Amino acid sequence: MPTRILVIEDNPANMELMTYLLNAFGYELLTASDGETGLTMAIREQPDLIICDVHLPQLDGYGVIRVLKRQPALQEIPAIAVTALAMAGDRDKLLDAGFDGYISKPIEPETFIAEIAKFLPAGQAPRTPAPGSPLLLVVCNAESNRARLAPQLGSRETVWADSVRQAVELAQTHTFSLALVDLEGAPEDCLRDIENAKSDAAFAALPLIIFVPSGTPKGRTGAISGTARFLPRTVEPGVLADEIETCLHHENRRQDGDHTDR
């Protein structure tokens, strides 16, 4: 079962950044944007870790931690405060209130995951794939497409991105074997986003399977060069599995230096 993390944060930008980082590292996310809702979710969902902003509407971080640490079922869940408070005294106050630790704002993407992982029991560390097992990147901007694709990927190690921009960032820090791109929107916009991403070396090196948006003009997909395959969204699960296998097989041979396989 994936590690479940509840994030209580009212600032949309901070929430987006934390959600993005935690998702990328394979954590399951629960989110709330005020203290009352966060508390209700904590009680109902019993997450493995709680990350809580201090300044929150309805009930602030101190209010949340006070209630949490009084509940026998919840007091063992590690809770981390996210705070812009700079003074040492303020931080002591957070620990005195019951928080198990704190993370300073602004959130640093480079260290955030390592910091939160310290508060998780061993075995719930960020999910890193077994060496040699292919890691897939799936770029998907619609919940419905995500729900359709996820079961088709089986137990493959997968990192999800919400946008092409996010995918490019992930490609710079992860070694993917293949990217699947399924974008909802005007075909011209989707294909242009992919073309633009190709100017990034890490992303350009990735074999792509692209689900062609309906209404794509004939011949338009030809503008995306390289090792891209195009599939309709309605593709049979078995066909998609075969396509993924074929791409991974080609990619393995390419990485092994076998350039005769064309």
User: Closest CB to Mn ion among 52 and 210?
Assistant: 52
User: Closest CB to Mn ion among 38 and 207?
Assistant: 38
Nearest approach, Cβ of residue 55 and Mn ion (Å) = 4
Closest CA to 229 of 248, 245, 243: 243
Nearest approach, Cβ of residue 40 and Mn ion (Å) = 18
Nearest approach, Cβ of residue 39 and Mn ion (Å) = 15
Stretch that binds Mn ion, among 3-11, 34-42, 119-127, 203-211 (CB under 5 A): 3-11
User: Closest CB to Mn ion among 57 and 185?
Assistant: 57
Q: How many residues interact with Mn ion (rule CB under 5 A)?
A: 3
Burial 122-156 (b: 16+ CB within 10 A, else e): eebebeebeeeebbbbbbbbeeebeebbeebbeeb
Residue 116's alpha-carbon distances to 21, 27, 47, 57, 199, in angstroms, are 11, 11, 14, 24, 33
Q: How far does Cα 4 stand from its chain's mean position?
A: 13
- Residue at token pair 């490609």: 171
User: Closest CB to Mn ion among 8 and 197?
Assistant: 8
Closest CA to 247 of 127, 153, 150: 153
Q: Per CB under 5 A, does 200 bind Mn ion?
A: no
Stretch that binds Mn ion, among 7-15, 81-89, 136-144, 253-261 (CB under 5 A): 7-15
CA distance 18 to 29: 10
User: Closest CB to Mn ion among 39 and 181?
Assistant: 39
Length of the chain: 262
User: Closest CB to Mn ion among 32 and 206?
Assistant: 32
Taking CB under 5 A as the criterion, the residue among 10, 36, 60, 157 binding Mn ion is 10
Closest CA to 206 of 227, 229, 230, 183: 227
Site for Mn ion in 46-65 (CB under 5 A): 53, 55
Confirm if 49 and 116 have CB atoms less than 8 A apart: yes
Indicate the DSSP class of residue 122: T
Nearest approach, Cβ of residue 98 and Mn ion (Å) = 18
Nearest approach, Cβ of residue 93 and Mn ion (Å) = 16
User: Closest CB to Mn ion among 53 and 193?
Assistant: 53
CA distance 17 to 4: 17
- Residue at token pair 């619609």: 142
Nearest approach, Cβ of residue 126 and Mn ion (Å) = 25
Nearest approach, Cβ of residue 81 and Mn ion (Å) = 11
- Amino acid, res. 86: A
Which residues are near Mn ion by CB under 5 A?
A: 10, 53, 55
